[in-house]
Amino acid sequence: MPGSLASEAMRPMHERSNGLGGGFAGYGIYPEYRDFYALHMFFDCRDTRKACEAFLKERFEIVRSELIPTRKMPSITGEPIIWRYFASPLPSVLKSLQLDEKEFVARTAMRINAGMDGAFVFSSGKNMGAFKAVGYPEDVGEFYRLEEYSGYAWTAHGRYPTNTPGWWGGAHPFTLLDWSVVHNGEISSYDANRRYMEMFGYKCTLQTDTEVITYMMDYLLRVQGLTLEEAAGVIAAPFWSTIGRKADAADREKRLYLRKMFPSLLVTGPFSIVLGFTGGLMALNDRLKLRSMVVGEKGDRVFIASEEAAIRMMEPEAENIWAPAGGEPVIVRVKEGAY
Amino acid sequence: METINIEGLSYREINERLRATPACKLAGCRGQRFIGAGMGSGELTIEGVPGNALGAYLNGGSITVLGNAQDAVGDTMNAGEIIVHGSIGDAAGYAMRGGRILVKGDAGYRAGIHMKAYEDKVPVMVIGGRAGSFLGEYQAGGLIIVLALNGGRPVGSFPCTGMHGGKMLIRGGCGDAVLPDQVTARPAGPEDLEEASGHIRAFCGAFLYDMEDILKGPFTLVTPNSKNPYKQMYVMN
């Protein structure tokens, strides 16, 4: 599917954003570099890029380094230098640090974002990439020429910042490794979540709440090895009273265990999120369902959006339109071997 | 009836056209918000998916949607009627104070949230399918009818949270959903159904159902059980 499909679906959603942030994540878009981490970067100037490149070259083998192609548009202004590297961590570095590849890449992204002024890693996964900017999402899609990318899964987001600045790094999706999160809502538990995640080396640097969900998912899924369903049961844990009424004793025990094990990772406040990962997507609402979410399908494609109108934009004949319940994860996986 | 193709039109342009046209059909609707907002009379039929806040502040006339509708349909409506031939999103009839909403399919979360009533203004919502969680949250007046005609539990979790006025009539009952302490559920009697029968008849007329079949019920009536629901919130008073 071309990225323009997701970008066009944002047109009827125009009223949901205010032009202060739009973005996309595409999966399966770099098949020719599938074994390399695609590092998408913002730099404030050439010197920053040179300094960052020197830093990266000590740690990675860079097989390709280029400007991300964009289109000049009157509606998108003030762009930083937007660059991408296809890179692989040097085995000698991994060996000396005794880190696995993913942990090393995640730490490198954190280190650049927290410590290198004017440089931001906004995408760091394999065979996927985020594209984001200050602007309306349909314009951002054109700006990044998304029609030239083809992927098996796309997420899209239009921002309407209410509490924090609208800036290039603050647009959704927020990514780490191949996780990406787009989020509609406002996280009341942000600071509790952030403080907990900082104990494990995750640094929140992008001035907005959604970022922490990405790191929480990385921690729960990659570091702790939870399943997607279990991670959903942590961040959108059912109420104690709901758990108490569960007839299935094994399910009840498991829910209790997850809530007790990760109390600081409960996300409160309204949210509907879509998590992108290699091989699929997971959509999740807060347990009170304070934000809307609709799912539809057609053939072997699944569509998830805040409004049915966006689904109809992508597929006018979409079928089985339904609204998942609060806290009920919807997990869509691409067929094995198809990515 | 005039048909207006609204593809690519903004809600402002659409509503300006509507104010100049007493009866019309909108074709090519795709998510435009606020359609028919504040409309006081006329007949409007919609093809496609109308955006959020359809018929907000509706003050008369009728709006018919030939498919699904999205969130906050009939937000704060005061009079008139909205008929949805598909399902409806979250927070339908938010704070409505009069008029009627008929939905053939299911309703999302928080249908009838903060419905109220005032003197002769008694809002009514009839849901043909099932209602999502938090049905009638903070309901202060009016009547919500859930028919569950396609089976399944008629209401989701936490129905009637904060409900302190109005009525709910549920075909079947709330199943194993837990009702809060301040409401009472009991089997509906003939006089309760009598009050609702005009609305159920309108529903059957709009969507071609057999009224007798539906009235076989059984129905459960849910009402708040206290004139002072905040009695014990802080201190006894």
Position B75 scores a pLDDT of 97
Higher pLDDT, A337 or A258: A258
Angstroms from A75 CA to nearest CA on chain B: 19
CA angle, residues A244, B144, B62, in degrees to nearest 5 = 140
Q: Which of A241, A242, A312 comes nearest B30 by C-beta?
A: A312
Confidence of residue B174 (pLDDT cuts 50, 70, 90): confident
ipTM computed for the complex? 0.92
State whether residue B109 sits within 8 Å of chain A by CB: yes
Cβ–Cβ below 8 Å for A12 and B32: yes
Position B232 scores a pLDDT of 58
Confidence of residue A336 (pLDDT cuts 50, 70, 90): confident
State whether residue A297 sits within 8 Å of chain B by CB: no
Cα–Cα distance for residue pair B194/A254, rounded to 1 Å: 48
Q: What is the per-residue pLDDT across B71-114, written as a single tens digit (0 to 9) for each?
A: 999 999 999 999 999 999 999 999 999 999 999 999 999 999 99
User: What's the whole-number mean pLDDT along residues A96-116?
Assistant: 96
State whether residue A239 sits within 8 Å of chain B by CB: no
User: What's the whole-number mean pLDDT along residues A235-243?
Assistant: 95
Global pTM reads 0.95
Cβ–Cβ below 8 Å for A12 and B134: no
CA-based nearest residue in chain B for residue A15: B33
State whether residue B68 sits within 8 Å of chain A by CB: yes
Q: What is the per-residue pLDDT across B108-143, written as a single tens digit (0 to 9) for each?
A: 999 999 999 999 999 999 999 999 999 999 999 999
Angstroms from A304 CA to nearest CA on chain B: 14
Position B237 scores a pLDDT of 46
DSSP state of B234: S
User: What's the whole-number mean pLDDT along residues B195-222?
Assistant: 95
User: What's the whole-number mean pLDDT along residues B54-63?
Assistant: 97
A76 has a pLDDT exceeding 50 = yes
Q: Which residues of A touch B32 (CB under 8 A)?
A: 12
Q: Which residues, including other chains, have CB under 8 Å from residue A253's CB and lie 6 or more apart?
A: none
A10 has a pLDDT exceeding 50 = yes
Q: Which residues of B touch A245 (CB under 8 A)?
A: 176, 178
Position B144 scores a pLDDT of 98
State whether residue B133 sits within 8 Å of chain A by CB: yes
Cβ–Cβ below 8 Å for A325 and B132: yes
A16 has a pLDDT exceeding 50 = yes
User: What's the whole-number mean pLDDT along residues A228-252?
Assistant: 95
Tell me the average pLDDT of chain A: 96
Residue B220 · residue B174 · CB < 8 Å:
yes
CB atoms within 10 A of CB B143: 22
Q: Which of B31, B108, B156 comes nearest A13 by C-beta?
A: B31
Give the count of alpha carbons within 13 A of A222, CB side only: 20
Q: Which residues of A touch B133 (CB under 8 A)?
A: 289, 325-326
CB pairs < 8 Å spanning A and B: 58
Q: Which residues of B touch A289 (CB under 8 A)?
A: 90, 109, 132-133
CA angle, residues A329, A331, A335, in degrees to nearest 5 = 175
Outline where A58-100 has alpha helix (H): 91-97
Position A162 scores a pLDDT of 87
Residue B81 · residue B39 · CB < 8 Å:
no
Angstroms from B129 CA to nearest CA on chain A: 13
Position B1 scores a pLDDT of 82
Position B160 scores a pLDDT of 95
Domains of chain A: 3-290 (3.60.20.10)
State whether residue A309 sits within 8 Å of chain B by CB: yes
Cβ–Cβ below 8 Å for A292 and B89: yes
State whether residue B90 sits within 8 Å of chain A by CB: yes
State whether residue B161 sits within 8 Å of chain A by CB: no
User: What's the whole-number mean pLDDT along residues A77-85?
Assistant: 97
> For chain B, which residues make up each domain, given as ranges?
1-79, 87-228
Q: Which of A242, A289, A310 comes nearest B109 by C-beta?
A: A289
The proportion of chain A whose per-residue pLDDT surpasses 70, expressed as a percent, equals 100
Cα–Cα distance for residue pair A235/A190, rounded to 1 Å: 12
* Pair type for strands B59-65 and B43-49: parallel
Q: Distance of alpha carbon B213 from its chain centroid, rounded?
A: 22
Looking at B127-136, B198-207, B228-237, which range is the least confident one? B228-237
Position B131 scores a pLDDT of 97
Cα dihedral B102/B59/B57/B209 (nearest 10): 0
Confidence of residue A256 (pLDDT cuts 50, 70, 90): very high
State whether residue A97 sits within 8 Å of chain B by CB: no
Cβ–Cβ below 8 Å for A289 and B52: no
Cα–Cα distance for residue pair B210/A143, rounded to 1 Å: 55
Interface test with A, best of B26, B90, B155 (most A CBs within 10 A): B90
Q: What is the distance between the terminal CA atoms of chain B, rounded to a whole angstrom?
A: 59
Position B231 scores a pLDDT of 59
Position A302 scores a pLDDT of 97
A266 has a pLDDT exceeding 50 = yes
Cβ–Cβ below 8 Å for A15 and B51: yes
Cα–Cα distance for residue pair B198/A125, rounded to 1 Å: 60
A329 has a pLDDT exceeding 90 = yes
CA-based nearest residue in chain A for residue B50: A309
Cα–Cα distance for residue pair A310/B70, rounded to 1 Å: 11
Q: What is the per-residue pLDDT across A118-133, written as a single tens digit (0 to 9) for each?
A: 999 999 999 999 999 9
Q: Which of B31, B90, B176 comes nearest A309 by C-beta?
A: B31
Position A206 scores a pLDDT of 87
Cα–Cα distance for residue pair B76/B54, rounded to 1 Å: 11
Listed residue (A275, A267, A286, A169) closest to A222, CA to CA: A275
Position B155 scores a pLDDT of 96
Q: Which residues of A touch B33 (CB under 8 A)?
A: 15
Q: What is the per-residue pLDDT across B19-41, written as a single tens digit (0 to 9) for each?
A: 888 899 999 999 999 999 999 99
Q: What is the per-residue pLDDT across A271-286, written as a single tens digit (0 to 9) for each?
A: 999 999 999 999 999 9
State whether residue A308 sits within 8 Å of chain B by CB: yes
B208 has a pLDDT exceeding 60 = yes
Q: Which residues, including other chains, have CB under 8 Å from residue A191's CB and lie 6 or more apart?
A: none
Which CATH superfamily does the domain covering B87-228 fall into? Glutamate synthase, alpha subunit, C-terminal domain (2.160.20.60)
